[in-house]
Chain A
Amino acid sequence: MFDIKNIYLFIKKPVVILLLFLLIFFSVCAKPYFLNPLNIHNLLRQISFDVPLALAMMTVLIVGGIDLSVGSVLSMSAALTIGLQDKGMHVGVIAALCFGVIVGFINGIIVTRGGVVPFIATLGTMTLIRGALLLYTKQQSIAGSNEAFTFWGNGSLGYFPIPFILVVILSVILFCFLKYTRTGRNLYAVGGNFDCAYLAGIKVDKTKIIAFIISGFLASFSGVLLASRLNSSTVHIGLDSNMWAIAAAIIGGASMTGGKGNVLATFIGVFTLGVLVNGMNLMRVLTYYQIGIKALALIVIVVFDAILIINMSKKKKRVIIADESL
């Protein structure tokens, strides 16, 4: 891990180059503000809520799926956390996390048993959950009643924000799970080559369901954190989170074809997008243009990923029919 060659390979990754470019660009263009310690502190807090979401997407991308329901799981979890707060802080949090796990399980079942393409299945659950959310909140925002709960989203430990520390711990756990446990490695095997994984005796369906469950859990974790940060919940949060999470995971090296994905790189991917948004805010770019720039970033990233796959398959003399990459 700490070999010089590894460090060199790490710096050569596109996401790191992109991050360095953006860092230098905004350090120059938004000069007095960007490198301010206070801004960096804010930046770390801002990205904390996107990290679990991107990790969720990455986990599903590793097994060759995609989870579009993360955004609505996030908003529903936030609503549950705040809505059930009067029954006790823990009740809301536990209910929200359980909700994420259950949705992940349902997604996994639909994908494996129903033979539905992951993005269609999760598109369906996304609509269902959003409908349930609208029904639950009656399209109104809910205000939180427990001040102590806001500590998890707003507090700081020394220089570092609490949510940032939490997501770092979460990332380390996920990293160890993916790297050092059998189930974690099975995820890569299933995504890399489904038939081989099946023939090697891996329980492919179970592995996929586990990936979706992890994704649901992480998405709801993100929702709980966000609820704590805002101390309220509206139906509008998490609307474009899917796109954001996909973009972060893909610039972090995950691929639509599965089998690839790295926790650290995804973390840096989120950080890169966070720097982009933060920098645009500091440079006073209008929100409308920001939305467009983000969308362009997604398109460019996906195209880049696709071109990379074509080049790779040419090198390996392997035919990948792009239509099957769903």
Chain B
Amino acid sequence: MTQNVIFTKQAFGIKSLRDLLLKQNTSLILLLIFLIIARFLSPHFFSAQNLLNILWGVSALGIVALGQTMLLITGNFDMSVAYVVGLSGITAVLSQIAGVGLLTSVILGLSVGVLVGLFNGLIVVFTKANAFLITLGSSILVYSINLILTKSKTWSVHIEGFLTLGRGKVLDIHYSVLIFLILAVLLFIFLKKTVTGKYFYVIGLNKRVAQLTGIAANKIILGAYVLCGLTAALAGLIMTSRTGSTVANAGVGMDFDSLIAAVLGGTSLFGGRGNTLFTVVGILILGVLNNILILINFPYEAQQIAKGFVFLVVVWADGVSRKKRI
């Protein structure tokens, strides 16, 4: 609906907040504010153990959000990540129960993510259908596959070695945290230092122009979908190995949360803006916010309200700043 922007009158917004959010480093400021609040609420907040726990808590969601960010930069969405998280864990666990080795089960788990990503990407690229609706449909489709596979039961991990992925530590830092941070840095380097990475932004800003300049936009979007599916599957494996068991709706809510994290990190929902390092900051904001709400004894149900509210404020600011630029 970009054509609307030309004629709509000047939007009103919370001025100071808007100016704050206009700049890319807003997410850092937001994180800083939350950190200071948390410091005042509890002296134990800044203990190394608590900080590491926060990181560990958000690492699986963070990996999903990294893939989502890559996709958002090209101007696409994937709402199916939530149930892909479940599907990959289920595939790995069920294949282990069927007698497959550790490595093969991990590869199988990752490959279902790739398959769902391919499915989404092919439909979106070739039919130019609305990405949101297609991935919403495929999300429910994957959920039904999850239900069929698990028969609505909880399945436990069969091979002990699989548990190290989510629970193992090196120097007090969990593997999943390391995977998350390394992946973020690698994707950041990919986006900033390689030509293909820069194409992601061009496609997000204007797909038509990108195609006219000879960029294989469809292939790159397809690749982004596969990457998103892959990261979701990886997060699913990590979550499964952390909890030691899996259920059909293991990752429920992650679709929305990954969007929130990316947006909190300054990624534009219209494509062309954002990077994975700031998504890490966005994820940290979510983690710290969650920690604060627990510290002040907020009811569990209200956490969703807080998240929704923060999300709405940020997208409002994003929309207003976009109007202003045009």
The residues of A with any CB-CB pair to B shorter than 8 Å are 64, 110, 112-121, 123-128, 130-132, 134-135, 138-139, 194-195, 198-199, 204-205, 240, 242-243, 246, 256, 286-292, 294-296, 298-299, 302-303, 305-307, 309-310, 321-326
Contacts and interface: CB of A to CB of B under 8 A. Distances in A.
B266 to A, nearest CB: 15
Contacts of B303: 131
B302 A131 contact: yes
B186 to A, nearest CB: 28
B140 A131 contact: no
B256 interface: yes
A289 B148 contact: yes
B301 A112 contact: no
Contacts of A116: 315-316, 318-319
A302 B129 contact: yes
Interface residues of B, number: 57
A131 B305 contact: yes
A110 B316 contact: yes
A258 B230 CA distance: 34
Contacts of A288: 144, 147-148, 152
B322 A302 contact: no
Contacts of A123: 256, 259, 311
Main secondary structure of the interface of A (DSSP, over half): helix
B207 interface: yes
Interface string B303-326: 111111101100110111011000
Contact of B137 (A138, A256, A295, A321): A295
B128 A299 contact: no
A246 B2 CA distance: 22
Contacts of B7: 194-195, 198-199, 204
Contact of B144 (A110, A199, A295): A295
Contacts of B115: none
A299 B320 contact: no
B32 interface: no
A135 B140 contact: no
Given A125-B308, A128-B312, 7 more contacts: A114-B11, A127-B307, A128-B304, A131-B307, A198-B7, A204-B8, A296-B141
B59 to A, nearest CB: 22
A256 B133 CA distance: 10
Contact of B147 (A291, A294, A296): A291
Given A117-B269, A302-B137, A321-B208, A292 B130 contact: no
A296 B256 CA distance: 22
A286 B311 CA distance: 37
8 contacts: A112-B8, A114-B316, A195-B7, A243-B140, A291-B143, A295-B138, A295-B143, A322-B129
A138 B302 CA distance: 10
A112 B323 CA distance: 11
Given A120-B315, A134-B301, A324 B140 contact: no
Contact of A113 (B11, B138, B304): B11
A135 B8 contact: no
A115 B322 contact: yes
Contacts of B154: none
A323 B207 contact: yes
Contacts of B299: 135
B6 interface: yes
A240 to B, nearest CB: 7
